[in-house]
Amino acid sequence: MMPLSLMKAIDATIANTGESTLANQLLTAWSHDPGSARFFRTSANAVFTFTQAGCSHILRFNYDDERRADYIGAEIDYLQHLSRAGVSVARPVRSLAGRYVETMDTAQGRFHSVVFEAVSGQQFDIDDLTLDGFRQWGQTLGKLHAAAQSYLGVGRPTWQNHLTWATENIPVSERAAHDTIAKLGTQLDALPVTADTFGLIHFDFELDNLIWTDQGLTAIDFDDSAWYWFAADIAFALRDLFDDEVTKISSSSEPFQAFMAGYRTERAITSEEIEQLPLFLQLNHLIAFAQLLRTLEVVPHPEEPEWIPALWQKIARIAQNYRTEFIKFTQ
């Protein structure tokens, strides 16, 4: 999630209709129906919908300081690899200049933008998902990991990059968090790194990044893809199944078993890898904690829009829960 100060700057360009002068400017790099762009959401990136010749597309952009252009280019390269391997993913669209990633200077700053064809279909909340839905979810992730095993591209971050970034961005006063970094680093260094267990993962394979279509499941939003153990992707994907709590991870639940049954139809996984899920979810919480602290850097003023203090308070509660968890982990 980007800092609230950056979200506010983007929000200031959005009219009540959902139109944005900033989005309109960035879209000049692509063929599009004028005036069709509408705000969708802002979180890790800003996302707008628009049409081209009546067909739905997605514009995604972010500040130069938040997302490097070469990282985005590497994401596109990975998507193309997965697509060639038969994994259904959102298709990137070239700009008028023939590029997938466009960089533009605006009054709000320098932005990197990318466009995708929109995917039509259904999305589900975890409470509405049947056991067969869990099986399909797991099968899709297994197929993605099987394809990832042959990917040798460069340019995406590693788990070591993430730990280093967390170390640099979490204040030294957050002692339990830094103790957690040290403990996790030691445990992760001891894990085997092989082509069978390690590769470029989606990193956020939750249900809001999956679309059920007539042809099967399509994965979207690979913006956080990084080099990790494949089992970490399972832990990150199923966070909501375990209420995002490390201590609630259970391999005996029916939804989990259905997910893994689907996964194993595409890729083998060992019991040792399954046993590592709590470790990876703890790592996920540490990285999320560092990101949340950045978002909380500016305390909102009373006169600001209601969504800003409400979001700030929600994030503060989550951060405090993570602090409590880190203390227990390092005791």
Task: Compute the distance between CA of residue 83 and CA of residue 106 in angstroms, rounded to an integer.
Answer: 33
Same-domain status, 178 and 230: yes
pLDDT in tens, 107-143: 999 999 999 999 999 999 999 999 999 999 999 999 9
Domain that holds residue 16: 4-117
The whole-number pLDDT of residue 306 equals: 78
The whole-number pLDDT of residue 318 equals: 93
* Chosen domain end from 92, 117, 142: 117
Same-domain status, 63 and 204: no
CATH code, 133: 3.90.1200.10
Beta bridge partners of 45: none
* Chosen domain end from 117, 147, 174: 117
The whole-number pLDDT of residue 176 equals: 97
Same-domain status, 135 and 284: yes
Same-domain status, 97 and 243: no
Query: In the 3-class helix/strand/coil scheme, how is the chain assigned residue by residue?
Result: CCCHHHHHHHHCCECCCCCEHHHHHHHHHCCCCCCCCEEEEECCCEEEEEEECCEEEEEEEEECCCCCHHHHHHHHHHHHHHHHCCCCECCEECCCCCCCCEEEEECCEEEEEEEEECCCCECCCHHHCCHHHHHHHHHHHHHHHHHHCCCCCCCCCEHHHHHHHHHHHCCCCCHHHHHHHHHHHHHHHCCCCCCCCEEEECCCCCHHHEEEECCEEEECCCCCCEEEEHHHHHHHHCHHHHCCCHHHCCCCCHHHHHHHHHHHCCCCCCHHHHHCHHHHHHHHHHHHHHHHHHHCCCCCCCCCCCHHHHHHHHHHHHHHHHHHHHHHHHC
CATH code, 47: 3.30.200.20
Same-domain status, 111 and 245: no
Task: Compute the distance between CA of residue 185 and CA of residue 164 in angstroms, rounded to an integer.
Answer: 10
Q: Are 94 and 118 in contact (CB under 8 A)?
A: no
pTM: 0.94
Same-domain status, 224 and 312: yes
Q: Which residues of the chain have pLDDT under 70?
A: none
Same-domain status, 153 and 254: yes
Instruction: Give how many domains the chain has, as a whole number.
Output: 2
